[in-house]
Amino acid sequence: MSTQQRPIHPLIRHEPDPDHPGWWTWDLPDAERYNATIGKLLVRGEGPGRARCRMFPDRRQSNLGEAIHGGAILTFIDMTMFAGGYAAGADMGPSVTLDLSAHFLSAGRLGVPLDATLEVLRESKRLAVMRGLVEQEGVTVASWSGTLRKLSRQ
């Protein structure tokens, strides 16, 4: 079974995106959930233990300097840990973010797709340790690392 066919949370719509060949949706149709603040989120696996997520930043994710708000970038990274971890082949059942560290290196621009890469460094029965970059048109916007704590499936 491919990683794109494994079961995920029943509230997540995960299917091939017709407008972006090779990418899969990672949508929560409930617009009242916090995750909806990111807007459209796409994901694709890029080999064992690797994945890439993409968001499309607009005014909703802006700060007063007309750049992407740092909080929106952190939210995007957190969502990448889950969606990207799944696409990278990690055993992503119910999990919570244990820690997340980010270093902002440049401003993200509105109206330009923003990508987050993910690499699973280590996975155990209870933890998944990951790292990656947030990039926009070849410019590194942030680097990050984080750990997910896997919860019991009961």
Distance between start and end Cα atoms, the chain: 23
The Cα–Cα gap between 98 and 119 comes to 17
Cβ-contact 50, 77 below 8 angstroms: no
Among 144, 117, 134, 145, CA closest to 67: 134
Is the per-residue pLDDT at 21 higher than 90? yes
Instruction: Write down the residue that tokens 């972006």 correspond to.
Output: 20
Mean pLDDT, rounded, of the chain: 92
Instruction: Write down the residue that tokens 């990278």 correspond to.
Output: 88
Beta strands in 39-150 (DSSP E): 41-45, 50-55, 95-104, 114-123, 127-136, 139-150
Cβ-contact 141, 132 below 8 angstroms: no
Predicted confidence at residue 154, as pLDDT, reads 61
Pick the range with the lowest mean pLDDT from 31-40, 46-55, 123-132: 31-40
Q: What tokens were used for 92?
A: 């992503």
User: What domains can be seen in the chain, in order of their start residue?
Assistant: 3-150 (3.10.129.10)
Tens digits of per-residue pLDDT, 36-83? 889 999 999 999 999 999 999 999 999 999 999 999 999 999 999 999
Among 100, 82, 83, 103, CA closest to 24: 83
C-beta neighbour count of 100 within 10 angstroms: 15
Whole-model pTM over 0.85: yes
Angle CA 25–19–48, to nearest 5: 45
